[in-house]
Amino acid sequence: MKRKSKQLLVSLVAGLMFGVGLAVSGMTQPGKVVGFLDPLGRWDASLMFVMAGAIAVHFVAYRLVARRGAPLLMPQFSLPTRRDLDIKLLAGAALFGIGWGVGGFCPGPALVSLATGAPTVLAFVVAMLVGTLVTARLDALLTQRANARRRTLVRGNAESPL
């Protein structure tokens, strides 16, 4: 089996395991999420236990995998290198939280819940995809404008007699 085929198979199995875990834990039910986010009402702490379990598994698995020189199906690990907080990260986190609280879904459970065909799930996923496309276009436009502004400033400084 070719490496690309193995990567796709492992991705499929991991995605299926993630989806089954979300379904079994009840995280595909918006009421559970909204209940967790309502500590002054009928608070549902089950999401906290799901998160704690996921963090514990990741904590151990990450340390075991990090001991390897490289992943099994790739030449090297692909880890984030940025450590700063910028406006795009903060705005994205805020939008994610608002969508999570209003819709009761985050992207993973929403995609798993598509199998139900519920209109609310379909509306959430469509809104999520439209938001992703608008954000990508807006980011490209803003980056293009910022680069043009930098080029203009650099040219302006090069022509300055000082």
pLDDT per position as a tens digit, 12-48 = 999 999 999 888 888 888 888 888 888 898 899 988 9
Of the candidate ranges 66-70, 119-123, 150-154, the one whose mean pLDDT is the lowest? 150-154
The token pair at 68 is 């390897």
In tens, the pLDDT along 86-103 reads: 988 999 899 888 888 888
3-class secondary structure, 154:
helix
What pLDDT sits at residue 64?
Answer: 92
Average pLDDT score over residue span 41-60:
92
- Read off the pLDDT band of 162 (50, 70, 90): low
What pLDDT sits at residue 158?
Answer: 58
Determine the Cα–Cα distance for residues 70 and 77; give it in Å rounded to an integer: 6
What pLDDT sits at residue 104?
Answer: 87
Q: Does the pLDDT of residue 156 top 70, yes or no?
A: no
What pLDDT sits at residue 149?
Answer: 87
Comparing CA positions, the residue from 9, 44, 40 lying closest to residue 25 is: 44
- Read off the pLDDT band of 3 (50, 70, 90): confident
Q: Does the pLDDT of residue 160 top 60, yes or no?
A: no
- Assess contact for 34 and 104: CB atoms under 8 A: yes
Q: Does the pLDDT of residue 55 top 90, yes or no?
A: yes
The token pair at 159 is 């022509």
Average pLDDT score over residue span 46-58:
92
pLDDT, mean over the chain: 88
Of the candidate ranges 6-15, 90-99, 151-160, the one whose mean pLDDT is the lowest? 151-160
